[in-house]
Structure 1
Amino acid sequence: MTELLSFPTFLRMIAERSAAFRAAVDAAPGLDADVPSCPGWTLYDLANHLSEGDRFWAHIVRNTAPGDERPSKDGLAAPREREALIAWLADSTEQLLTALREAGPDRGCWAWWEPLASSHTVAAAARRRVPESLIHTYDAQLASGAPQELPTTEAVDAVDEFLATVCTVTVPWPGEPATMDYHAAGAGSWRQTVDAAGSRSTRLTAAEAAESKPTAAVYGTASEIALLMYMRIPADSLRIEGDADLIQRLQNWG
């Protein structure tokens, strides 16, 4: 079991990545710039999506409990003028951070994921918003022509959180049982196991990683592994051992 980062750390990461997102919006040639990693979206569409998500989760942590029905979004659209949009983004993030601080990490709230490795709490919601800001900042930087490597600490937790929240499910895997190992250089290793019981993951020790014989294994930096999981870079841009098609099957299954 991986020791989680602290709740204040998640809040700091949200604030920092959101500020980086606004900087990318400010640096872009225009709000109509295409986002290569989100086909069909402009930079405005991406900004509207991120701000909508911040406001949506602010509402969730203030007003919902585990087991509630999925709440409705407010339907408000972000302004289309750049300066006003940047101010709207900042206000959206502040609404989220204020709601998270006021609720505290242990309060229960609605969540869309199965409460197996990741709980239905405000702390888990805050953790989920970090990769949202992290990956979409990368998207915005692509649109502005200046993509940057993901910060290592955020990238490592994004990998761990993705496996715990998105990939830990009881939906039966439709193929033969398989194991997928992810090795982030200097940052750790994980194993995802899929079978009739669903999907689950564990953090591997250095000795376990060295001795493991998975169905497939992928090697890269923490940034590359996180971007691969969020389908921002192709699997064949990384070193893969074993059944290289397993990554595509996992992505199609998800």
Structure 2
Amino acid sequence: MQNALKFPDVLRLIDERATAFGALIASAPSLDAPVPSCPGWTLFDLAQHLGAGRRKWAAVVAAGPADAPPAVSSTAPRQRDDLVAWWAASAQELLSALREAGSDRGCWTWWADSQSPETSGAAARHQLQEIAVHTYDAQLTLGAPQPLPDEVALDGVEEFQLTCCSTTVAWPHEPAVVDYHAIEGISLRLRLSADGARAIRWEAADEEPDASLRGTASDLVLVFYGRIPPEALELKGDPRIFDQLAAWDPSV
């Protein structure tokens, strides 16, 4: 399955979403505002999480192939101007590591059992989604949520299924076929069975799915990350499968 975005485009979009997140932190009335989509977190907590995580992934990419991620610790400053600068530096640290590594260099990942490769390119692709969704979280906190940008969302529909859903761990429920249709023109099929979960591009119906979701690419990605419920989209078939998917942790 081919990556819909070229590596330079992924880096460009990471930079764009990082800039958008920084602007939200800079303009927020209070950094103590609770984040509705991340229960228990304030806007400051969200910035701390996002910045520290990007510094960790910068180190992961820079380290190259490894059996475990390097130990990285970073604490965000409380003062707003310092926090904005710290976040910008965190994002640029990640981008610098990705540019230096290129798209094909191996690195540690937590998704070794998935369909995504263990490379810096796959890491960049997932980092884009992490930053984009948390930018949505910040927008939601400020009362002005926006759809994910089209390029980001269209790649995210596929990226989530390949990285976060596909696995060789046995599906613990009845076998199922789930289809996801983005109205912008991409469809994914996820097969769930005793052999695990595998995602493919869907182009022609060789069998009816047990459940399906149709909506914008942005809404699909937001469903995948638990930001909106599946029922907010056009849902057909057995809705219990989406609850089972949300609750499933193949690592347990």
Q: TM-score range by the shorter chain?
A: over 0.9
Query: What is the root-mean-square deviation in Å for CA atoms of aligned residues?
Result: 1.3
The amino acid of 2:10's aligned partner reads: F
Q: Give the TM-score of the pair, scaled to structure 2.
A: 0.95
* 4+ runs deviating over 3 angstroms: none
Separation (CA, whole Å) in 2 of partners of 1:69 and 1:94: 23
The amino acid of 1:4's aligned partner reads: A
Report SS of the residue matched to 1:194. Answer: strand
Aligned to 1:54: 54
The amino acid of 1:73's aligned partner reads: V
Which residue among 212, 217, 220 is the counterpart of 1:217?
212
Aligned to 2:172: 174
Contact in 1 for aligned 2:114/2:168 (Cα 8 Å): no
Aligned to 1:239: 234
Query: How many Å apart are 1:188 and its aligned residue?
Result: 1.3
Separation (CA, whole Å) in 1 of partners of 2:92 and 2:151: 22
Separation (CA, whole Å) in 1 of partners of 2:2 and 2:95: 25
Post-superposition CA distance 1:149-188 (Å, at most 9, x none):
1111100111111101111111100111001111111231
Aligned to 1:198: 196
Aligned to 2:139: 141
Separation (CA, whole Å) in 1 of partners of 2:169 and 2:176: 15
The amino acid of 2:108's aligned partner reads: W
Report SS of the residue matched to 1:249. Answer: helix
Report SS of the residue matched to 2:44. Answer: helix
Separation (CA, whole Å) in 2 of partners of 1:222 and 1:149: 9
Query: How many Å apart are 1:234 and its aligned residue?
Result: 1.1
Query: How many Å apart are 1:212 and its aligned residue?
Result: 4.4
Query: How many Å apart are 1:78 and its aligned residue?
Result: 0.5
Contact in 1 for aligned 2:107/2:119 (Cα 8 Å): yes
Post-superposition CA distance 1:219-254 (Å, at most 9, x none):
111110000000000111111111011101111013
Which residue among 105, 126, 130 is the counterpart of 1:128?
126
Post-superposition CA distance 1:22-64 (Å, at most 9, x none):
1111222210011000000000000001101110011111114
Post-superposition CA distance 1:102-152 (Å, at most 9, x none):
111111111110254211111111111000111000001011111111111
Aligned to 1:77: 75
Aligned to 1:228: 223
Separation (CA, whole Å) in 2 of partners of 1:175 and 1:93: 40
The amino acid of 1:101's aligned partner reads: R
Separation (CA, whole Å) in 2 of partners of 1:4 and 1:238: 23
Residue 251 (1) aligns with residue 246 (2): yes
Separation (CA, whole Å) in 2 of partners of 1:20 and 1:212: 42
Identity of matched residues, % = 49
Deviates more, 1:107-116 or 1:96-105: 107-116
Residue ranges of structure 1 left out of the alignment (5+ in a row): none
Residue ranges of structure 2 left out of the alignment (5+ in a row): none
Separation (CA, whole Å) in 2 of partners of 1:220 and 1:238: 6
Within 5 Å, give how 1:19-98 maps onto structure 2. 19-66=19-66, 68-74=67-73, 76-98=74-96
The amino acid of 2:175's aligned partner reads: P
Aligned to 2:107: 109
Within 5 Å, give how 1:2-17 maps onto structure 2. 2-17=2-17
Contact in 2 for aligned 1:2/1:203 (Cα 8 Å): no
The amino acid of 2:243's aligned partner reads: Q
